[in-house]
Structure 1
Amino acid sequence: MSRSPFPEELLPGLFRIPVPLPGNPLKELNAYLLRGAQRSVLVDTGFRQSACREALFAGLEALGCLDKPIDVVLTHLHSDHSGLAPEVAGTAGTIYVSRVDRPSLDDPEARRVFWGMAERRFLEEGFPLLSLRHLNDTNPARSMAPPTGGHYESLEDGQLLELGPWRLRCLLMPGHTPGQMCFFLEEHNAILLGDHVLFDITPNITAWPAMPDALGSYLVSLERVRAYGGALPLPGHRGRGDLTARVGQLTAHHQCRLEEAFAAVRDHPGAGAYTLAGYMSWKIRAASWAEFPETQKWFAVGECMSHLDHLAALGRIERRTADGRAAYFARS
């Protein structure tokens, strides 16, 4: 088994296990191990791929946890957080996740329906069919997701989850996913953030079939987490920072992005999200929208759609559909 950097103890009994994400712009997942005498709790896992598996289990071995049951708590459904959950929990552990996100993990029919609805929306927005079909086979959201199986239990907003010596207050923060949760450790004044707030990068906010205005939900959730600004922030990726300040930065960022999306609609009336995303700015290095990496184009178009949905909810633009294609127009 290859060795990862040794786990970092952040609080007594609470460790960060760095899990590499090869070839992914996120670079690394922060898995958090809450160690107990009889059983431990792991918050998030990494992709279902060998590099993640080796690093995660090396960290668990270094902490002496592999000979006792491990329960898994997932902040949300994305495969870089959930991919290895059934392997870690095995037959002795339970996987806890929000009731909202759970069907995408343990209900094959719900997965099929979700991806069908997502594909129809992307096609409606002008995403090329051949590119979308290729992404269906290579997108880590699908190819590295956890297999069906495992013992799951649902979590509700406000619920107090007690696992051994650990008490986690479940806080539903929809936006990044419909069921993204943060977990507040009141006795330790620490909050596990998942991808709700990241400090070195901006969380991707995409459109979801079950959320008519994902960005609007995210902005409301950002305000809610501001109340925990004095807690130790434990993000799902990369480094930590000032939570209150970061909430302000993320809010301002999306306000700027909304204006950028509105300008794209105003200057290119009748275009769909696939075309409009090409007129927005992105940190991915590419000579043109045509040369933008396909996988990252999928994320970019999804983020563009969430901003267009919010502009429509605000009444600033109008979305029309005809012959299976979406078109956007600025309101005067």
Structure 2
Amino acid sequence: MNLGQKVEEGIFRVRIPIEGSPLKEVNAYLIVSSKKVLIVDPGPNHPLCLEILRLVLKESEVDNKEKEVFVTHFHLDHIGLCAKLDGMVLRFFLNEIEAQIIEEKLDERQKEALKLMKQHGFPENELEALKIYHPAKALPPFLPSFHPVKEGYKLLSGETELIVIETPGHSPGHCCLYEPNKRILFSGDHLLKEITPNVSLWSEEVDVLNLYLTNLKRLTELEVKIVLPGHGDPFSEFEKRIGELERHHAERCNEILNLVKNRPLTAYEIASLMRWDVKEKWDDLPTFQKWLGVSEVLAHLIYLERQKKIKRMRRKDYYLWTA
């Protein structure tokens, strides 16, 4: 059995399954040196994921080496397994903003998110389902302590130097790792080969989409030979993919503008009328996918509002958007 795919000398990709997710898999990476192993994004909190990771470490004959973990961002499919690795890993690294968030009262964050969704047209009966399943409630209760990192922090994995690059947008403190000698970018969920990373509103005080696009453009300053993403296959056409994502969001903005030119709509109504890359009709989508869709629409609405291309109108306890 060969579960670890060698992508470069000393770097292995491990495809970790995600139960019940349309993404199906997340990529964990092992960066192996003579003395230690750095695990990038170990995966979700599931016994099978732990078994796979242990098997790969054993197959690669590195299970006895010192281990560290770097997490690109705090979403469950990337950080969850850290809850089961505390005894076998020496240090865990995470962006300082996200390390702080997971120590906060997540119930309060959930209440704020539900309040926001209600203000933007999410039906009451569907909000009840979100109270049961919301990402803030699903974080493992016993995550380890994280060593906080920020822009420019250097991780040394033996002979390999990795530089932390802050790329908030997909999440508040998302980070990539860059290896300048081999020109390798560990992109997490900031840059994916075939999937458009979800850019959802996580604060109305922040223009999240503008932040994401700015940090996407900033990556073009790097020399990159290969991108090792959080989901999907590694790829090399780095700047081409960035251009595709920029065009995608421009098209999304135009689609929203055309919808709100006809009549004022809530964010929920806009999301229900948009084209999504799914087989199901909007009404048949799971509530959590609708939540992601509305959150993504809100990120685009705030972006357009800051550019003064649209405006919001208050109606009792909800908002309508119009061009």
TM-score bin (small chain): over 0.9
Secondary structure in 2 aligned to 1:15? strand
Q: Report if aligned partners of 1:178, 1:210 keep a CA contact under 8 Å in 2.
A: no
Deviation at 1:144, TM superposition (A): 4.6
Q: Report if aligned partners of 1:178, 1:211 keep a CA contact under 8 Å in 2.
A: no
Distance 1:254 1:272 in 2: 20
- Which of 113, 118, 124 aligns to 2:119? It is 124
Distance 2:176 2:94 in 1: 11
Distance 2:65 2:138 in 1: 26
Instruction: Say which is worse superposed, 192-201 or 211-220, in terms of deviation.
Output: 211-220
Aligned counterpart, 1:34:
31
Aligned counterpart, 1:85:
82
Aligned counterpart, 2:177:
183
Corresponding letter in the other structure for 2:246:
T
Secondary structure in 2 aligned to 1:101? helix
State TM-score, norm by structure 2: 0.93
Aligned counterpart, 2:293:
300
- Which of 280, 291, 299 aligns to 2:284? It is 291
Distance 2:125 2:62 in 1: 45
Corresponding letter in the other structure for 1:101:
E
Secondary structure in 1 aligned to 2:68? strand
Aligned counterpart, 1:320:
313
RMSD, aligned α-carbons: 2.0
Would you say 1:66 and 2:63 are equivalent positions? Answer: yes
Deviation at 1:104, TM superposition (A): 2.7
State TM-score, norm by structure 1: 0.90
Aligned in 2, Cα 1:252/1:156: closer, same or farther, shift over 3 Å?
same
Aligned in 2, Cα 1:133/1:67: closer, same or farther, shift over 3 Å?
farther
Secondary structure in 1 aligned to 2:107? helix
Deviation sequence 1:27-85 (CA, Å, 0-9, x none): 21110011233331100021112333332332223223333332110111111110012
Q: Report if aligned partners of 1:192, 1:233 keep a CA contact under 8 Å in 2.
A: yes
Corresponding letter in the other structure for 1:97:
L
Aligned counterpart, 2:221:
227
Aligned counterpart, 1:236:
230
Distance 1:296 1:327 in 2: 22
Q: Report if aligned partners of 2:163, 2:179 keep a CA contact under 8 Å in 1.
A: yes
Secondary structure in 1 aligned to 2:35? coil
Deviation at 1:156, TM superposition (A): 1.1
Distance 1:147 1:60 in 2: 26
Distance 1:78 1:196 in 2: 12
Deviation at 1:249, TM superposition (A): 0.3
- Which of 100, 104, 123 aligns to 2:101? It is 104
Identity of aligned residues (%): 29
Distance 2:131 2:48 in 1: 22
Deviation at 1:161, TM superposition (A): 2.3
Would you say 1:157 and 2:151 are equivalent positions? Answer: yes
Q: Report if aligned partners of 2:83, 2:144 keep a CA contact under 8 Å in 1.
A: yes
Deviation sequence 1:170-195 (CA, Å, 0-9, x none): 11111111111111011221010000
- Unaligned stretches of 5+ residues in structure 2: none
Corresponding letter in the other structure for 2:202:
W
Aligned in 2, Cα 1:162/1:321: closer, same or farther, shift over 3 Å?
farther
Secondary structure in 1 aligned to 2:300? helix
- Paired residue total: 322
Corresponding letter in the other structure for 2:303:
H
Aligned counterpart, 2:3:
6
Alignment of 1:262-281 (within 5 A): 262-269=257-264, 271-281=265-275
Aligned counterpart, 1:113:
108
Deviation at 1:21, TM superposition (A): 1.4
Deviation sequence 1:120-167 (CA, Å, 0-9, x none): 11111111233233234334x346533344121111112222243332
Q: Report if aligned partners of 1:157, 1:171 keep a CA contact under 8 Å in 2.
A: yes
Q: Report if aligned partners of 1:125, 1:272 keep a CA contact under 8 Å in 2.
A: yes
Aligned in 2, Cα 1:129/1:163: closer, same or farther, shift over 3 Å?
farther
Aligned in 2, Cα 1:151/1:64: closer, same or farther, shift over 3 Å?
farther
- Unaligned stretches of 5+ residues in structure 1: none
Would you say 1:251 and 2:232 are equivalent positions? Answer: no
Corresponding letter in the other structure for 1:249:
E
Aligned in 2, Cα 1:228/1:134: closer, same or farther, shift over 3 Å?
same
